[in-house]
Structure 1
């Protein structure tokens, strides 16, 4: 079972480019806080993951308690939880909130020019968004993943809000495909044409998925979180079983038997790595599946409940209300109305 693909399919991950930046020294930009990203970029989305591709010049990145990080052309920055941050040409420049200078035209890539007229820095800025926030993945990722190509190799550098998440990792892959993909994406932003938005969306998704795969294969010993759980032979096996048959009436004992551990050992190890019990994780995943069906299908509540493992409509409704916060019928109606409103009345502008 390819769990990562399963998750990205269910939450409907998609990507977009919203502006190309041309900044001239001196300059400094403050991005919007994470709680404002969905409101300004994709109303109705539950998760927005901003990213920047440096295409020319140099600058400094800072946020929280992290020491300023030097950024050069070719570097790719991915903020899994949308941490507010500052990009600047150098120290001592007062940052300008991006919302004060950025008023894009919906469905178009804006060229954003700002600064004092000195040396130039260029960026392509985009975001990934999803209908549902899959916390186990996003919360397990470092706050910042920075991909650099140096000396003919791909380097992955990761950071928390306070410092390095792990030591830089040199990936044993030919960097040519990565740089070619970045070049393709950047080229598409400069030459819009038929299918442009679809190509940019798919390229953005590809690059994000590859970063997650690199993080998955490089999870260090002692790390915790969903990625560490996938990488663990026993917990990973249990996760595969739950995703392969989410409607099955699983017990921890049966999971443990198939995962090759005792019931107590699996229960303890699963919580240590994933942060919740196997049955809590299963219930949460069932709600992701149910919400997709409620939004995308016309199936009745009883059938949707049966598809995700509940024997009756009443049991499904109780679980949905407990975990999602609203009855499934009300949630479906609210989301249909919200989606219709967004289609009819697109926002006049949004900001990063």
Structure 2
């Protein structure tokens, strides 16, 4: 990539959302009958979502945020916090992994639970995000995001996605699991985008910086081409700012100096690559623009606190 290409329109926030590719997905089609209650344990590094197809469910996240979900509503629990779903706000909840489930595939099962009363049908999922940009975005989200069906009437994408997921979950025809996975990509991105559009908290920090015309472009350049030999002067030049003005605005909006962000971004990418593929250190170093494995290892340990070899071997979280 030519990092010094002419100015072209970019959508930094859109590119960050592009990195929200789900992995490690697991889905459950839940068929409840009142009275019922389900306690979901904390799942580290996971985002969990719940879609109500019929009936209703009370969601209580970490004992602090309680909301009634109705048909068509979507709830995200972004940080893997323990939470409960129940037919009544103070109803008893049985531990998820103590209940029998019908395994449809390695990543999909059916749960039937309750006392035989009024039915509630849901699709629930647990997903992971591996790309550093996705993790950085998800880390900024609140404990829970609820998108009510009544608030999505102006945007048929969410409603259509929910209906397609519900249909596939009911029938699970050949290829249904793959379709649900792809629809979940869309669903989660749409929900996060809706939160970004309506919540004042999304206008500050890293998300706010992405929306800034010049700092957002600088972040995009760093994200697109981490191996480039970025300097404060070169980044400032790319976004038509003076070096001092760029340095001050970047630090104010992003929260860290520009060159510290560049180094941190490279090491986040390196850690993800080492964990996922176990790639040779020399290959990772070259991919990120380091002239030697030794220089890369020193930079990695200085930023992350452990050696890249330890991350590759899986001896550290």
Superposition TM-score, scaled by structure 1 size? 0.74
- Structure 1 residue aligned with 2:37, among 28, 34, 44? 28
Corresponding position of 1:112:
111
- Structure 2 residue aligned with 1:243, among 216, 223, 231? 223
C-alpha deviation, 1:220, in angstroms: 3.1
- Structure 2 residue aligned with 1:88, among 86, 89, 110? 86
1:17/1:300 CA distance change after superposition, 3 Å: closer
Q: Say whether 1:127 aligns with 2:107.
A: no
C-alpha deviation, 1:55, in angstroms: 0.7
1:117/1:194 CA distance change after superposition, 3 Å: closer
Aligned-residue CA RMSD in angstroms? 3.2
C-alpha deviation, 1:148, in angstroms: 2.0
Q: SS where residue 227 of structure 2 aligns?
A: coil
Q: Say whether 1:283 aligns with 2:242.
A: no
Unaligned runs of 5+ in 1: 39-46, 156-172, 336-352
Aligned residues: 305
1:95/1:250 CA distance change after superposition, 3 Å: same
Corresponding position of 2:4:
none
1:76/1:295 CA distance change after superposition, 3 Å: same
Corresponding position of 2:139:
139
Q: Say whether 1:213 aligns with 2:189.
A: no
Corresponding position of 2:212:
232
Q: Distance between the aligned counterparts of 2:216 and 2:199, measured in 1?
A: 13
Q: SS where residue 68 of structure 1 aligns?
A: strand
- Structure 1 residue aligned with 2:171, among 191, 214, 229? 191
1:146/1:238 CA distance change after superposition, 3 Å: same
Q: Distance between the aligned counterparts of 1:295 and 1:9, measured in 2?
A: 21
Name which of structure 1's ranges 51-60 and 271-280 shifts more when overlaid on structure 2: 271-280
Cα deviations by residue, 1:206-252 (Å, 9 ceiling, x for unpaired): 11122233344445388423222211223212211212321122222
Asked whether the equivalents of residues 226 and 266 of structure 2 are also in contact (C-alpha less than 8 Å), the reply is yes
C-alpha deviation, 1:69, in angstroms: 1.4
1:222/1:49 CA distance change after superposition, 3 Å: closer
C-alpha deviation, 1:262, in angstroms: 4.3
Asked whether the equivalents of residues 109 and 189 of structure 1 are also in contact (C-alpha less than 8 Å), the reply is no
1:174/1:224 CA distance change after superposition, 3 Å: closer
- Structure 2 residue aligned with 1:56, among 51, 54, 57? 54
Superposition TM-score, scaled by structure 2 size? 0.81
Asked whether the equivalents of residues 15 and 201 of structure 1 are also in contact (C-alpha less than 8 Å), the reply is no
Q: Distance between the aligned counterparts of 1:53 and 1:221, measured in 2?
A: 24
- For residues 255-274 of structure 1, the aligned pairs below 5 Å read 255-274=235-254
Asked whether the equivalents of residues 238 and 259 of structure 1 are also in contact (C-alpha less than 8 Å), the reply is yes
- Structure 2 residue aligned with 1:13, among 22, 39, 48? 22
Q: Distance between the aligned counterparts of 1:206 and 1:216, measured in 2?
A: 15
Q: Distance between the aligned counterparts of 1:87 and 1:52, measured in 2?
A: 9
C-alpha deviation, 1:205, in angstroms: 0.9
C-alpha deviation, 1:2, in angstroms: 5.6
Asked whether the equivalents of residues 21 and 185 of structure 2 are also in contact (C-alpha less than 8 Å), the reply is no
Name which of structure 1's ranges 209-218 and 310-319 shifts more when overlaid on structure 2: 209-218
C-alpha deviation, 1:126, in angstroms: 0.8
Corresponding position of 2:5:
none
Q: Distance between the aligned counterparts of 1:78 and 1:11, measured in 2?
A: 14
C-alpha deviation, 1:319, in angstroms: 2.0
Q: Distance between the aligned counterparts of 2:301 and 2:309, measured in 1?
A: 10
